[in-house]
Amino acid sequence: MAPGAPEQIPTVVQAMDDMKKYAEQPASERPTQCPYNAEQRKAFLEQNGKSVLSCPAFQNHKCPFDHVKSVEDIHSQVQKTPNVQKCPAFDHHHGDLMEVLYPDVHQKHAAKTNHLLSSCEPFQVTTISRMITPKSNIKPYSVVILDIEGTTTPIDFVSLTLFPYARKEVDKYILNNWGEEGTQNYIENLRRQAQRDLKQNEFSDAPQIPEDDQATPEEIRKAAVANVHFNMDKDRKLTPLKELQGKIWEKAYQDGEIRGYVYDDVVNAFKYWKQKSTKIYIYSSGSKLAQKLLFGNTSHDADRDLLPYISAHYDTIYPGSKVEAASYEKISNDIKKVAAGVQDGDILFVTDNILEAEACRKANIQAVLAIRDGNKPLPESHTFEVIHSFDQLL
């Protein structure tokens, strides 16, 4: 055995058996130390990573007992959720807590409860995801249109990463690029918008940007920065604001200060769709530049640039608002022009926003709602298919 190698690398079966025994013990009698040392846990993950990808037990070299506690916490939480209490698969496993770890047992019961398992958390996070994630009743499709925030990317990526960066760097960007025609155009368009805002009660307090002959460049720059901060705080989707933010992010991506976050299951889906010749389109409230920067500079080292998978990008400049059916009709018509034989029924739109899904449905296009961590709860009365992972689309 090589120097420093772990004395014994636990097998998957052994690890599961240890977790099951631990789960069956009263809390007061459970051991406080992990049965495997750090080197054994690390070696286990390296050797068996493909079979425990969704199992928190050995992720980050944690003790398998941590997994038991995680499952117990999840069970405790979902017991309070009406839909989960009605799930026969959950009821079956509740008596033998760790039985949920075995995919073959889970699959047997999952077949009876596909309509409920989409909201059953234990089966989304405690087992081997690709083997047990239930298929949704989604009609066959040959084209997908994807939202970004809350769908391909965490809902808070923009608010916690991109927006704070743009807010912090806007003054420096305007200063360093003051002489650029594009920068002056952004300022001029924001100036005119602020003047229009004076007539609106909601935004009448927007900081005004003085004309070039009424103030020094420094005063104009400071006023422009204040205006940008105001509009960002109001979460306004103004075209000059989004374009300016996009230029700031472009430099950040180029310098490696920001990487786009895309869920692992989305990357896998992109590869699958490419093999199946399924066309991928992006439709987001973010500018097309911002979209391309995110997908072209992801945090996936092996798949840094996802742009080659994407056929086209759409934002709210064209085709328009994401909660208007006409916007989806325009996209559909565009797709039909370049993809012979495609009909509305061949297109699938995936979003986390129910208003967008409803608008899409009015355009006779199939829509599916994505449920991700941090997304807003959906009304119980909705009638859309839901997914927790893009695996359910494949």
> How much is the pLDDT for 7?
63
Return the percentage of the chain with pLDDT > 70, whole number: 73
Residue 364 CA to residue 133 CA, distance in Å, equals 27
Residue 74 CA to residue 84 CA, distance in Å, equals 11
Lowest-pLDDT choice from 23-32, 35-44, 99-108, 195-204 = 99-108
Residues in a beta bridge with 386: 369
> How much is the pLDDT for 62?
55
> How much is the pLDDT for 109?
45
Beta carbons within 8 Å of 278's beta carbon, 6+ residues apart: 141, 142, 143, 144, 272
> How much is the pLDDT for 276?
94
Residue 268 CA to residue 52 CA, distance in Å, equals 17
First to last CA, the chain: 43
pLDDT greater at residue 28 or residue 82: 28
> How much is the pLDDT for 22?
73
Please give the domain boundaries of the chain with CATH numbers for all domains: 12-131 (no CATH), 143-153+260-393 (3.40.50.1000), 157-254 (1.10.720.60)
pLDDT greater at residue 302 or residue 35: 302
112-167 per-position pLDDT tens digit: 444 334 434 444 433 333 333 444 578 999 999 999 999 999 999 988 999 999 99
> How much is the pLDDT for 61?
44
> Which residue in the block uniquely carries the two structure tokens 């100036």?
191
- With b meaning 16 or more CB within 10 Å and e meaning fewer, what string describes 168-197? ebbbebbeebeeeeebeebbebbbebbeeb
53-95 per-position pLDDT tens digit: 444 444 444 566 666 665 565 555 545 544 444 444 444 443 3
306-362 per-position pLDDT tens digit: 999 999 999 999 999 999 999 999 999 999 999 989 999 999 999 999 999 999 999
**Coil, helix or strand for 280?**
strand
User: What is the average pLDDT value for the chain, to the nearest integer?
Assistant: 80
Beta carbons within 8 Å of 109's beta carbon, 6+ residues apart: 88, 89, 92, 93
What residue spans of the chain are helical by DSSP H?
Answer: 12-24, 38-48, 64-78, 82-85, 88-94, 103-110, 114-117, 122-125, 129-132, 157, 163-176, 181-197, 217-233, 239-254, 264-275, 288-296, 325-338, 354-362
> Which residue in the block uniquely carries the two structure tokens 């009605």?
86
What letter does residue 310 receive in the DSSP assignment?
E
204-238 per-position pLDDT tens digit: 999 999 999 999 999 999 999 999 999 999 989 89
Give how far the C-alpha of residue 101 lies from the chain's centroid of Cα atoms, to the nearest Å: 26
Residue 341 CB neighbours (<10 A): 7
> How much is the pLDDT for 93?
40
Q: Nearest to residue 300, comparing CAs of 259, 254, 339?
A: 259
> How much is the pLDDT for 72?
60
Query: What's the average model confidence in pLDDT over 261-268?
Result: 94
Give pTM, 2 decimals: 0.63
Helix 288-296 vs helix 239-254: angle between axes, to the nearest 10 degrees? 20
